[in-house]
Amino acid sequence: MPYFDHNATTPLADCAREAWLRIQTENWHNPSSPTRAAARARIRLESYHEAVAIMLGGEPSHYIFNSGATEGAHAVLAHWAQKLPAQARIAVSATEHACVLAAAGHYFPNRIDWLPHEGGGFVPPAAISNAIAAGAAGIVVMAANNETGVLQPWPEIAAACQRASVPYLCDATQWLGKLPGAGLGSNNTWIIASGHKFGAPKGVGFIKLPKSLPELQKPGGGLQQNGHRAGTEDLASIAAFTAALVEAEQKHVLWESQRLAWRDHFEKALLSSIPGLQVIGQQWERLWNTSLLIVPCGTQSQWVTKLDKADFQISTGAACTAGKEGPSHVLAALGLPAELARQALRISSGWQTTEQDWQELQAIFQKTNHSIMTSIGFIEHKT
């Protein structure tokens, strides 16, 4: 069954499964215990911190393994709310993931300034400089959008924030495992990420702390991970996370341009064969795997159901908002009319996706469009 919903989650990578099973068999002990077996588990844990730091930058002690980006967003923004001056305002991109927007709204109620963006949701570096000059005490801009795939200039944003000593939170969940991670962690930036977007298990991710290494958690609970996050570490899932990330970092060097070409050919073929179809963010640099389409007819549920029956799995947008009423907040932020936003379909491939999968998806898209158009024409004729 061709799977085109990788931005929602990915199948478990073989290397991740093997790493998970190996730890559950050999090093299942609590790393905080005083025994020799626990010491070996602790050494393993330290090696995973080191491996991630080598790939992304920064020091091993800067990385705190956790359950994923949702926990990370709340932990970071709760910390900012405690440490920034009273009534401080933060500047946020309106196209952030829902978990980030929810955390920002909770910890900074009525104290959010929305960053201006260009087409596709791209936040220009000048907007960051202007926000800082206007008094923003923190900046929140993701690395890559989960719905449109549009990439943000996170290196320039990080540099501007570092020059002004303003904290920057970057949600790298969709970037990590798809594009090179080198440099993400080498500056004074807060990073959050989830592993299940690139072949790791669900429920494991990390927070990357800035160089100042603030105390992240309030007193209470254990002192695991240098006192930043209480709770016994899930060593097996951390091992799987690290293995999947190492493999993904190797893949983008070999296959990224090839898979970008497959996606672009798919879009070009549909644009030329389906009148009225739109590709959101097409003029901007995007993730190689993501295509957000506005179809000219039919409902989202019709398309998803018809393609699912044909054994093709796609999405209408972010999985965390599936089933909610109303259009995507991302498309609303881009100014897309609600009636068009309700015609959005997200296609997101993975490293396992083949050129044939893309070709077959193109064919079934064209067939489905014809089927829906015929159905609409029949209904109109009967009435």
For 271-309, what is each residue's pLDDT tens digit? 999 999 999 999 999 999 999 999 999 989 999 999 999
Q: Specify if 3 maps to a domain.
A: no
Q: Are residues 218 and 259 in the same domain?
A: no
CATH number of the domain that 285 lies in? Answer: 3.90.1150.10
Model confidence at 329: pLDDT above 60 = yes
Q: Are residues 73 and 50 in the same domain?
A: yes
For the chain, the domain total comes to 2
CA 331 to chain CA centroid, Å, is: 16
Exposure string of 146-164, with b = 16+ CB inside 10 Å and e = fewer, is bbbbbbbbbbebbbbbbeb
Q: Specify if 58 maps to a domain.
A: yes
Q: Which of 247, 268, 301 is a domain's end point? A: 247
The pLDDT of residue 233: 84
Q: Are residues 242 and 272 in the same domain?
A: no
Q: Specify if 378 maps to a domain.
A: yes
Q: Which of 247, 280, 311 is a domain's end point? A: 247
Q: Specify if 6 maps to a domain.
A: no
The pLDDT of residue 31: 79
Mean of all residue pLDDT scores within the chain: 91
The residue range of the domain holding 301 is 255-382
Q: Are residues 217 and 351 in the same domain?
A: no
6-21 pLDDT, tens digit each: 999 999 999 999 999 9
The residue ranking higher by pLDDT, 68 or 380, is 68
Using CB atoms within 10 A of its CB, is residue 105 exposed (0-12), middle (13-18) or buried (19+)? Answer: middle
Q: Are residues 26 and 134 in the same domain?
A: yes
CATH number of the domain that 46 lies in? Answer: 3.40.640.10
Band of pLDDT at residue 379, cut at 50, 70 and 90 = very low
Q: Which of 194, 224, 247 is a domain's end point? A: 247
Q: Specify if 1 maps to a domain.
A: no
Q: Are residues 236 and 273 in the same domain?
A: no
33-72 pLDDT, tens digit each: 888 888 888 899 999 999 999 999 999 999 999 999 999 9
Q: Which of the residue ranges 39-43, 185-189, 348-352 would you say has the lowest mean pLDDT?
A: 185-189
Find the catalytic residue in 161, 170, 297, 320. 320
Q: Is 320 a catalytic residue?
A: yes
Band of pLDDT at residue 227, cut at 50, 70 and 90 = low
Q: Are residues 122 and 227 in the same domain?
A: yes
Q: Are residues 129 and 216 in the same domain?
A: yes
Q: Are residues 315 and 217 in the same domain?
A: no
Q: Specify if 51 maps to a domain.
A: yes
Q: Specify if 230 maps to a domain.
A: yes
Q: Are residues 147 and 53 in the same domain?
A: yes
Percentage of the chain surpassing pLDDT 70? Answer: 92
Highest-scoring range by mean pLDDT, 215-219, 227-231, 291-295: 291-295
Q: Are residues 117 and 27 in the same domain?
A: yes
Q: Are residues 118 and 168 in the same domain?
A: yes
Q: Specify if 163 maps to a domain.
A: yes
